Amino acid sequence: MADMTTKLLLRKLLNRLRRLCASERGNIAVIFAIALVPLITGLGAAIDYSRANATKDSVQAALDSALLEGAKDGGSTWITLATDVFNSNLSSRTFSVQPPQFTKDDATLVYAGTASASVPTSLLGIIGIRSVAVSVQGHATAGEGDNSCILTLDKGQSKSHTSLTLNGAPVVNLTGCSIRSNTSMNCNGHNGNAIKSYASGTVWGCSGPKSNAPIVPDMYVDLATNITAVCSPARLNVKWTAGGAIPPGITTVIKAGYTEYHICGDLTVSGSGHLTGSAPATDRD
């Protein structure tokens, strides 16, 4: 579009020059000659700097995409990946671009980058400006990895509500994973040996505590309409030992392809293995 505009403007200038040459009035030639340089300069600045701004937007978008992919990868070859993404997004460029430069702050997990390009001019070359330089910078922050083994949604409760409590015995070994609560959690007696303990509210006594964490959306909310609206007899504390019989206080509802276990009140789980005695056929059991 810019090149077409340039051609039209040049055509108009040539037409003006032809009329000037045919004119017999000398003062017109003098005035036109004086006005021609600033006229072309202003016109060229408008066109060429407009192209430079469009190029800057393209380079910025390519750099942002590269940093996002690099932060998402986070591996030892992330710079190579980011560079490939940057170059692929500018594969059809008509300007000269320098190789991007990338850095990473290991403490904050911030991935940063800079890039520059040189855009050739169309009209400013008349006054000796052959190109316009543009430069961009950007950064992306990698999200902290989360491999939660236990998540309590605690829907409808305030963030101060304690939805997950680890007491002194039995000791749960959560080595290699994290625990998370959409409200608060309390490790009373042992910390669970988890890598991190995330809570949208407050964390007390748990390993790797991180309070005020983002709330995790309930990915099963659309399935809630499939749950049978029944409740077990009111029990303050139902104790379920893995591999044993289904304890009193739990209402069992057999559905097509899966089983629902309804518990109203607190649940204490103990033992090792599968609660029902054998591995469930699907994760819907």
Number of domains in the chain: 3
- Is the pTM higher than 0.75? The answer reads no
Same domain, 98 and 133: yes
Same domain, 175 and 269: no
Distance CA 167, CA 188 (A): 5
Same domain, 179 and 255: no
Same domain, 103 and 137: yes
What would the pLDDT profile of 263-277 be if each residue is shown by its tens digit? 777 778 888 777 877
Asked whether the beta carbons of 103 and 112 are under 8 A apart, the reply is: yes
Q: Mean pLDDT of all residues in the chain?
A: 78
Which domain does 249 fall in, by range?
227-285
Same domain, 73 and 136: yes
Same domain, 7 and 130: yes
Q: Give the domain-ending residue among 114, 141, 168.
A: 141
Same domain, 272 and 197: no
Report pLDDT for 46: 67
Between 11 and 216, whose confidence is greater? 216
Nearest to 233 by CA among 251, 253, 260: 251
Distance CA 67, CA 90 (A): 15
Same domain, 117 and 157: no
Report pLDDT for 49: 78
Same domain, 38 and 122: yes
